[in-house]
Amino acid sequence: MIVMRTLKGWTGIKELNGNKIEGNCLSHQVVLTEAKTNPEQLKMLNDWLRSYRLTNCLVETTVSVIS
């Protein structure tokens, strides 16, 4: 699980079904309620999360455990 803290309304889906989402009160809600069953909403969610480019932020490391 990745938890990301941002300002409310700072990032997210910009528009859904013709309604502005990002930067208004709707951005505080779960707006992609049908992402599990709606391919269009799933793509929007995927595109939004990939925009963070988390693979550039995460570094694989090896940790030695001394016992």
pLDDT of residue 52: 75
Q: How far apart are CA 35 and CA 46, in angstroms?
A: 10
Encode pLDDT of 7-64 as tens digits: 655 677 888 888 888 777 766 677 888 989 999 999 998 888 888 777 776 666 655 5
Tell how strand 19-20 and strand 15-16 pair up.
antiparallel
Element spanning 20, H or E = strand 19-20
pLDDT of residue 37: 96
pLDDT value, residue 19? 83
Tell me, what's the pLDDT at 59? 64
Residue whose entry in the numeric block shows the structure tokens 């409310």: 8
